[in-house]
């Protein structure tokens, strides 16, 4: 059984379909204290419940929302890619610990779907945290299916976020608009 860390609903379509098509038993795990603000977190959480209903899979929602922990960890590394490395590590190490606690044998993440993330970093961290807990990391490059997954989310009317998640990425997404005006 595999624990699939899920960053958001739209990114889950392709990985979930892939796992199902390959007969891999899994449960989703939503742990994303990086998402800012809380209202946005709730919107993405709701989007995932819709996808889970649509594709019929179970999700464990970890709503600890450790924002203080996340910000404390990234505040001295506020720029990419270091900031993202810290963020991946926080989310994936928590997923690995949860997988171990619940008796899963493997983990993976929907972060492997996005061409806008640091893919190799995610793979390396996933392998590292899995090894630490005596689990395996299920690696698959889902990026070639990015536009297919995006289309599925649009067709299903699933909420699609406009920035990666943290307050820094929210600034990076909209700063150009401010500079233009």
Interface of this chain with ligand SF4, residues 34 to 73, rule: CB under 6 A:
34
Nearer to ligand SF4, 104 or 129 (CB): 129
Q: Any bridge partners for residue 178, and if so which?
A: none
Q: Is the distance from CB of 62 to CB of 94 less than 8 angstroms?
A: yes
For residue 29, what is the enclosing H or E element? strand 26-30
15-34 mask for ligand SF4 (x: CB under 6 A)? -------------------x
Q: Any bridge partners for residue 28, and if so which?
A: 4, 59
Nearer to ligand SF4, 12 or 169 (CB): 169
Q: How far is the CB of 125 from ligand SF4 (least distance, A)?
A: 11
User: Which range in 37-45, 82-90, 129-137, 173-181 contacts ligand SF4 by CB under 6 A?
Assistant: 82-90
Q: Is the distance from CB of 107 to CB of 137 less than 8 angstroms?
A: yes
Nearer to ligand SF4, 24 or 67 (CB): 67
Report how far residue 77's alpha carbon sits from residue 87's, in angstroms, rounded to the nearest whole number.
Answer: 10
Q: In this chain, which of 16, 59, 87, 129 binds ligand SF4, going by CB under 6 A?
A: 87
Report how far residue 28's alpha carbon sits from residue 92's, in angstroms, rounded to the nearest whole number.
Answer: 13
Q: How many residues bind ligand SF4 (CB under 6 A)?
A: 9
Q: Please provide residue 125's backbone torsions phi and psi, each rounded to the nearest 5 degrees.
A: -65, -40
The rounded Cα 138 to chain-centroid distance in angstroms is 14
| Per CB under 6 A, 84 contacts ligand SF4 | yes
Chain residues in the site for ligand SF4 (CB under 6 A): 34, 83-84, 87, 164-166, 168-169
């Amino acid at each position: 059984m595999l624990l699939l860390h899920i960053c958001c609903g739209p990114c889950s379509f392709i990985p979930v379909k892939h796992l199902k098509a390959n007969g891999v038993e899994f449960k989703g795990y939503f742990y994303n204290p990086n998402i800012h603000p809380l209202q946005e977190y709730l919107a993405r959480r709701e989007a995932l419940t819709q996808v889970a209903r649509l594709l019929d899979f179970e999700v464990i929602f970890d709503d600890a929302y450790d924002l203080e922990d996340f910000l404390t960890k990234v505040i001295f590394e506020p720029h990419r890619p270091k900031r993202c490395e810290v963020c991946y590590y926080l989310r994936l190490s928590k997923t690995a610990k949860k997988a171990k606690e619940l008796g899963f044998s493997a983990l993976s993440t929907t972060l492997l779907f996005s061409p806008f993330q640091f893919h190799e970093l995610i793979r390396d961290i996933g392998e590292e945290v899995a090894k630490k807990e005596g689990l395996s990391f299920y690696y698959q490059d889902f990026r070639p299916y990015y536009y297919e997954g995006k289309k599925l989310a649009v067709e299903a009317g699933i909420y699609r976020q406009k920035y990666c998640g943290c307050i820094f990425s929210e600034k990076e997404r909209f700063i150009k608009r401010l500079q233009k005006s």
